[in-house]
Amino acid sequence: MTSDKNFHEKNEMKQSSDPCNCCCLDSLYTILDGEASEENTEELMAHIEKCLPCYQQYDLEVAIRELLQTRLAKKCPPQDLLDCIREKIASITITQ
């Protein structure tokens, strides 16, 4: 199975703890923010799969983004806010 091959490759690479100088955090952000081209995304994702420091960095960035998107409570606007806005707009329209 190809997944076995990938698993071994990944494990081999993961044993390396050399610092990664091949890509920067900014490239990672452009991918996570959907701002990178398809080609760059594929290239960097392939790299992340094989490079431990980049893989850990990516993992952390994804985790923090998930925390922000799922754990930050959404506030409900006060019930009367919409009515207040409508009333004020109506009074502007009348005075004009």
Which stretches of the chain bind other proteins, using CB under 8 A? 14, 25-26, 29, 33-35, 52, 55-56, 59-61, 63-69, 71-78, 81-82, 84-85, 88-89, 92-93
Cβ atoms of 36 and 30 within 8 Å: the answer is: yes
Minimal distance, residue 94 CB to other proteins, in Å = 11
Nearer to other proteins, 21 or 95 (CB): 95
Residues 54, 47: contact at Cβ < 8 Å? yes
Instruction: Write down the least CB distance from residue 46 to other proteins, Å.
Output: 18
CA angle 3, 7, 10 (to 5 degrees): 135
